Amino acid sequence: MSRSSEKAQSPGLEVELEPQRIAHGGVSVARLDGRVVFVADAIPGERVLARITDDSKPSFWRAETVRVIEPSPHRRPHVWPEAALERDPDDRAGGAEFGHIANEHQRELKAAVLAEALQRFAGIERPTEVEALPGEADGTRWRTRVRLHVDADGTVGPYAARSHRVIRTAGLPLVTAAIEEIAPIREPFAGADTVDVLAPSEGEARLVIGRQAPTAIRERVGGREFRLDDGGFWQVHAAAPETLSAAVRDAVDPDLFDPRAANLDLYGGVGLLAAALGDLAGPALRITSVESDARATEHAAGNLAEWVGARAETARVERWVRGLADAGAAERARLADATVILDPPRSGAGRAVLEALAEVRPAQIVYVACDPVAFARDAGTLAGLGYTLGPLRAFDLFPNTHHVEAVGRFVREGHA
């Protein structure tokens, strides 16, 4: 490359890089005199001029693309001008790190990250196509919720990529038109550090300013209505709730599904995926939804009221599942035919939850994952605990970002 690694010891140095593959987190992987460099805003297969931004780690450096020398055929004008290459890297808005890549190729890159993670962390060879969701062809106008930040002079906007500095922006192309219309990005704003803007499927778009007291809203999925807090968790892609509900139903092995078993919905939120299971089972469903957020649990109880055998409990999942594992043999036996929906946060379920869950030996686990590496690690743990990964699907719930959602079924050995 153009400079030796010995000379590239301070941020600010510009070097030519040729990224070869994509890494988890949305950055490309290049090498500079044998050293790994993670470079943002580049596409594998092209040659770029990049600025070293961090050389503090002995094993790798970080860089930002300044200029494209030989572009990839998959490069396109960025969908968000404030995040585009024409801006200095320090002034690029965060939250659309794949916006310069054609959408079909974005999905190919996400599939590669998922496949690599499964092979590396679980020893599983599983190429998987990332499926597109309904929406705009360029991957814009899908986001029904966004958090904006407010700086000391009242500027409202997203953070700059990989920083906590607010970027002024003339538009928000990933959000729905209803959100962009009311987002307070055009004039100074005072009174809070954050502003959440959301457009529920029922009712008007609204602002949630700072730590404002929650208000109940309604979201419609198919023919069913869900109540939740306006500041509570809900899938951000307009088509995601229905897509994931269908994917969970499809993932369940009907030969292993007993509606009257002690079925579980762990990290259950307001009951979206428990209801999806209910659509398979009908009124006979027994299911317990476990969620640490008390307000969400309260809403889940109401959202699942049509199933007499459904209940919602407020608890930390790891403690609750450990309580099951430590219960008597009769209690554990009630779970032997259970179907478990597992929808953990981005960090994954983790070994403690999975080991406790494996002790009660449910028949199948339907895992909904929003992070490929965390999912792969958990897949490796489950494999060691006697659960085999069966069908796996992936969905582009976050176009123009590096994020990808996966839904996989794990079956206990002896049931496969």
Tokens of 203: 């009712």
DSSP assignment string, 148-203: EEE-TT--EEPBBTTSS-B---S--TTB-HHHHHH-S-SS---S-SEEEEE--SBS
Annotated binding site: 235, 267, 291, 343
Q: Which of 370, 373, 392, 407 is catalytic?
A: 370
Q: Which two tokens stand for residue 280?
A: 């398979």
What is the maximal distance between C-alpha atoms in the chain? 69
Place of tokens 């600010």: 12
Is-catalytic flag, 370? yes
For 95-159, the DSSP string reads: S-TTTTB-HHHHHHHHHHHHHHHHHHHH------PEEPPSS-TTS-S-BSEEEEEE-TT--EEPB
The residues with which 198 forms a beta bridge, in sequence order, are 145, 206
Interior CA angle at 161 toward 160 and 164, to 5°? 50
Helix (H) or strand (E) holding 315: none
Confirm if 281 and 302 have CB atoms less than 8 A apart.
no
Q: Which residues are annotated as a binding site for S-adenosyl-L-methionine?
A: 235, 267, 291, 343
Burial of 294 (C-beta count, 10 Å sphere; 0-12/13-18/19+) = exposed
Residues forming the active site? 370
